[in-house]
Amino acid sequence: PSDGKKLGVALVGLGGYATNQLAPALMLTRNIELRGIVTGTPSKIPVWKEKYKIQDKNVYNYETFDRIADNKDIDVVYVVLPNSMHAEYTIRAAKAGKHVICEKPMAVSVKEGQAMIDACKQAGKQLAIGYRLHYDPFHLEMMRLTREKTFGAVKLVEASDGFRAGDPNQWRLKHALSGGGPLMDVGIYAIQGARYTVGEEPLAVTAQEFPKTMPEKFKDVEESLSWQLYFPSGAIAHSFSTYAAGVNRLYAAAEKGWYEVNNAFGYSGQVGRTSKGPMEIQHINQQAAHMDGVALSIINNTPNIVPGEEGLRDMKVIEAIYASIAAGGKKIQ
Ligand code: NDP
């Protein structure tokens, strides 16, 4: 910001993403800095205080969290909790008069997502979703190639995201905390990629869930699924998401060529190519770019580019995918 003042952010939920990505990225940001933490694990407090010079008055737990309303150091609350807790903490943060960044998926249902948008609107505060790839130069290039029709109109997108889930006891495999399996966790990036690479909003979806190869591990959520989105121009997107194997790809076939990013949805290591040759693009710190971008929108009082409404569009697609699966396929034998 021009006056040199940074916004202060409090991270809510000091798990893997907050610890290994967000807090280190907040050492690189220009418009926002880490000032507060909200945690249910007391042993994490001294470690974070020491490492990030966090003052005692800026440390909260889930019971004391609402008192953040009185804390002038904190402008933004960043919700990095398991998915089913996103709505509650976003709404509580808005009621406390804070801007909110909430991780993806924004919620576990369209209904919750809408309630979050309404709460932030009512509070006159911004809501941004943790869609770091909207600030990643490889994904911005995919959007540009579509927007400028460099290779003509897009006809097909293939977008898939999955990884091999380790710990069988993690919250990601418990429906009550995750709201769903790989679709909620990483399939949402394939939905995002399809939407911004086609450059349209989908009209309809068909989806399939596959028999579980590890039924004991995936008692509560899907192991793998695929879906096809149909867009107004006639473009289609085909996607796969899984907790059984690594897959990570965004590909567009257009009238006069193709463009793609491999290792598309990771924090780094993107490899971009088009039918004319490699994308010569520098990698950046996505998390720093995302938080700086959102912070600048807050400072300038302009809309951010990853608002709650963007999160809600994905929640609608996710609900439609689960509904299509529930409607079922036809058994052959
Ligand atoms: P972790 O399991 O590593 O951390 C979640 C943290 O939430 C815990 O460490 C804990 O923090 C807190 N928590 C509070 N209640 C519970 C509970 N009942 N069970 C488990 N944890 C609880 O998850 P991640 O950091 O990987 O994911 C957090 C969120 O961030 C998810 O919504 C995920 O989708 C999203 N995410 C986004 C990424 C991106 O690239 N944008 C990447 C990774 C995750 P404490 O001990 O401090 O209370």
Residue 80 Cβ inside 6 Å of ligand 1? The answer reads yes
Q: How many CB atoms lie within 10 A of CB 266?
A: 16
Per-residue confidence (pLDDT) for residue 126, from 0 to 100: 98
Q: What is the pLDDT of residue 29?
A: 98
Q: How far is the CA of 53 from the centre of ligand 1 (A)?
A: 22
* Residue 168 shares a structural domain with residue 211: yes
Interval between CA 79 and ligand 1 midpoint (Å): 9
Q: Are residues 237 and 210 in the same domain?
A: yes
Helical segments of the chain, H only = 16-17, 23-25, 44-52, 86-95, 110-123, 137-147, 175-178, 182, 188-198, 286-300, 308-327
Helix (H, G, I), strand (E, B) or coil at 16: helix
Q: What is the pLDDT of residue 294?
A: 98
Strand order in the sheet with 236-242: 204-209, 224-230, 236-242, 154-162, 247-254, 257-262, 271-274, 277-278
Domain check: are 238 and 213 in the same one? yes
184, part of any domain: yes
Predicted pLDDT of residue 94 = 98
- Kindly state if the Cβ of 217 falls inside 6 Å of ligand 1: no
Task: Going residue by residue through the chain, which has 333 residues, state the pLDDT in tens, using 9 for 90 and above.
Answer: 556 689 999 999 999 999 999 999 999 999 999 999 999 999 999 999 999 999 999 999 999 999 999 999 999 999 999 999 999 999 999 999 999 999 999 999 999 999 999 999 999 999 999 999 999 999 999 999 999 999 999 999 999 999 999 999 999 999 999 999 999 999 999 999 999 999 999 999 999 999 999 999 999 999 999 999 999 999 999 999 999 999 999 999 999 999 999 999 999 999 999 999 999 999 999 999 999 999 999 999 999 999 999 999 999 999 999 999 999 877 777
Question: In terms of domains, do 141 and 67 share one?
Answer: no
In a domain, 164, yes or no: yes
Instruction: Check which CATH number belongs to the domain holding 51 and give it.
Output: 3.40.50.720
Prediction pTM value: 0.97
- Joined tokens for residue 4: 């040199």
Rounded-to-integer distance, Cα 107 and Cα 312, Å = 9
ipTM summary value: 0.99
- Integer-rounded Cα Rg, in Å, for the chain is 20
Question: Which CATH number do you get for residue 251?
Answer: 3.30.360.10
Q: Does 68 share its domain with 20? A: yes
CA 307, 137, 180, 222: dihedral to nearest 10 degrees?
160
pLDDT of residue 5: 86
**Measured in angstroms, how far is the CA atom of residue 7 from the centroid of ligand 1?**
23
Measure the CA dihedral 39/44/46/47, to 10°: -130
Catalytic residue among 60, 89, 135, 189: 189
For residue 19, how far is its CA from the centre of ligand 1 (angstroms)? 10
Is the bond leading into 105 cis (omega within 30 degrees of zero)?
yes
104 catalytic per annotation: yes
φ/ψ of residue 61, rounded to 5: -115, -175
Are both 295 and 227 inside the same structural domain? no
- Domain span at residue 292 reads 7-131+288-306
- 181, 258: one domain: yes
- Alpha-carbon span 68 to 74, nearest angstrom: 7
CA distance 71 to 51: 21
243 is catalytic: no
pLDDT at 273: 98
The reply to whether 118 and 28 lie within a common domain is yes
Provide the domain count of the chain.
2
The whole-angstrom separation of Cα 325 and Cα 206 is 8
Query: How far is residue 316's CA from residue 144's CA, in Å, rounded to a whole number?
Result: 25
87 token code pair: 């709505």
State whether 195 and 212 are in the same domain.
Answer: yes
> Six-digit token pair at 119?
């709460």
In a shared domain, residues 159 and 269: yes
Cβ of residue 14 lying under 6 Å from some atom of ligand 1: yes
Q: Does residue 225 share a domain with residue 188?
A: yes
